[in-house]
């Protein structure tokens, strides 16, 4: 039986990058889609692409950091399709800057979207995923949920939090023998507009960060989406995407808590921070 045909799949942050690629590939595989994003323009484009790929699409503007909005969205999706099988917690934002120059507002914003967004959607959709008899939660962490990068503490903390939440959820659901699987995804650099969309601390040379990102981001959004869907099909607990994610995984195991020394020295070579 196909893992995607006729399944109802919820994708947050569907208006760009990996979320858009996931939406189109799910549509091609016969899934029925509930797409959302905080930015309506990108979402409209994704809806058009997913429909052209043959998908039945329900779309709403939803800011995942807004709990009430996510509660309403979960009701609306269940009402529209009658069931929910898969939740792709994809929405996310990046932030670049040293801790000393990062405002509380920016630290809270990144956590609100990247961590609380996953918590809101997972808690609201979980009863429907259980009811479906064959649910799946995908949580989007990052390579920076394996290793913390200096000058990205806000992002690192949110992605480590996503990993902790997802791993605990998987263990709880296995122990309770619930029919819901959990996959935590750790992409390395993927060629999306994430850096264009990113906030930064005052004085950061974001044009330089973008140039470096374009050089190191070897994975395409389509490649990342394929790896995620393969992970869902094979019920993988953890999906590493790209050679950089695999290197980070090995580094974290080899160096243990000493990896920060390596990370600090390596990042100094690459991060054009005005504040370092």
Ligand X SMILES: NC(=O)c1ccc[n+]([C@@H]2O[C@H](COP(=O)([O-])OP(=O)(O)OC[C@H]3O[C@@H](n4cnc5c(N)ncnc54)[C@H](O)[C@@H]3O)[C@@H](O)[C@H]2O)c1
**Residue in 88, 104, 115, 155 annotated catalytic:** 155
Note whether 231 binds ligand X by CB under 6 A: no
Check binding of 113 to ligand X (CB under 6 A).
yes
122 binds ligand X (CB under 6 A): no
Q: How far apart are CA 107 and CA 123, in angstroms?
A: 23
Query: Quick one: which of 47, 64, 173, 209 contacts ligand X (CB under 6 A)?
Result: 64
Up-side HSE of residue 16: CA atoms within 13 Å toward CB? Answer: 18
- Determine which residue in the list 87, 190, 239, 248 makes contact with ligand X, applying CB under 6 A: 190
Joined together, the tokens standing for residue 92 give 């996310």
Question: From start to end of the chain, where are the E strands?
Answer: 8-11, 32-37, 56-61, 86-89, 95-96, 135-140, 180-187, 199-200, 238-241
Q: Are 199 and 206 in contact (CB under 8 A)?
A: no
Q: How many residues bind ligand X (CB under 6 A)?
A: 30
Cβ at position 158, least distance to ligand X in Å: 8
Told to check if 192 binds ligand X by CB under 6 A, we report yes
CB of 191 vs ligand X, minimal distance in Å = 7
| Interacting residues of 171 by C-beta distance below 8 A, sequence separation 6+ | none
3-state secondary structure string across 243-262: HHHHHHHHHHHHHHHHHHHH
Q: Is residue 194 within the footprint of ligand X (CB under 6 A)?
A: yes
Nearest to 129 by CA among 57, 54, 34: 34
Rg (CA), the chain: 18
CA distance 11 to 171: 23
- Taking the complex as a whole, the smallest distance from the CB of residue 180 to ligand X amounts, in Å, to 21
Does position 189 interact with ligand X (CB under 6 A)? The reply is: yes
155 is annotated as an active-site residue: yes
- Using CB under 6 A as the binding rule, whether residue 74 contacts ligand X is answered as no
Q: Is there binding between residue 118 and ligand X (CB under 6 A)?
A: no
Q: Which of 11, 18, 59, 225 binds ligand X (CB under 6 A)?
A: 18
C-beta closer to ligand X: residue 126 or 227: 227
Q: If binding is defined by CB under 6 A, does position 187 make contact with ligand X?
A: yes
67 CB contacts (<8 Å, ≥6 apart)?
A: 116, 120
Are 117 and 91 spatial neighbours (Cβ–Cβ below 8 Å)? yes
Asked if 19 interacts with ligand X (CB under 6 A), we say yes
Residue 16 sits in the site that holds ligand X (CB under 6 A): yes
Q: Which residues are catalytic?
A: 155
Rule CB under 6 A: which residues touch ligand X?
A: 12-13, 15-19, 37-39, 42, 63-65, 90-93, 113, 117, 140, 142, 187, 189-190, 192-194, 197, 217
């Amino acid at each position: 039986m196909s893992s995607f045909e006729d399944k109802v799949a919820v994708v947050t942050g569907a208006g760009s990058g990996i979320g858009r690629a996931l939406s189109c590939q799910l549509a091609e595989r016969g899934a029925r889609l509930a797409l959302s994003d905080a930015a309506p323009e990108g979402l409209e484009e994704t809806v058009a692409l997913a429909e052209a790929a043959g998908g039945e699409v329900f779309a709403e503007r939803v800011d995942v950091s807004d709990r009430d909005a996510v509660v309403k969205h979960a009701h609306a999706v269940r009402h529209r399709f009658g069931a929910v099988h898969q939740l792709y917690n994809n929405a996310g934002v990046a932030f670049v800057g040293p801790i000393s120059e990062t405002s509380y507002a920016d630290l809270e914003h990144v956590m609100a979207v990247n961590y609380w967004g996953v918590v809101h959607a997972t808690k609201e959709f979980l009863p429907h995923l259980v009811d479906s008899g064959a649910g799946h939660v995908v949580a989007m962490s990052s390579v920076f949920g394996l290793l913390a990068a200096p000058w990205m503490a806000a992002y690192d903390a949110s992605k480590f939090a996503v990993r902790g939440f997802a791993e605990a959820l998987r263990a709880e659901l296995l122990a309770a023998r619930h029919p819901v699987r959990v996959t935590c995804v750790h992409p390395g650099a993927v060629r999306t507009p994430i850096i264009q969309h990113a906030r930064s601390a005052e004085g950061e040379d974001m044009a330089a960060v973008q140039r470096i990102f374009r050089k190191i981001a070897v994975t395409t959004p389509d490649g990342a989406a394929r790896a995620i869907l393969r992970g869902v099909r094979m019920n993988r607990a953890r999906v590493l995407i790209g050679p950089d994610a695999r290197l980070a995984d090995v580094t974290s195991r080899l160096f243990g808590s000493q990896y920060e020394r390596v990370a600090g020295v390596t990042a100094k070579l690459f991060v054009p921070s005005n504040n370092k």
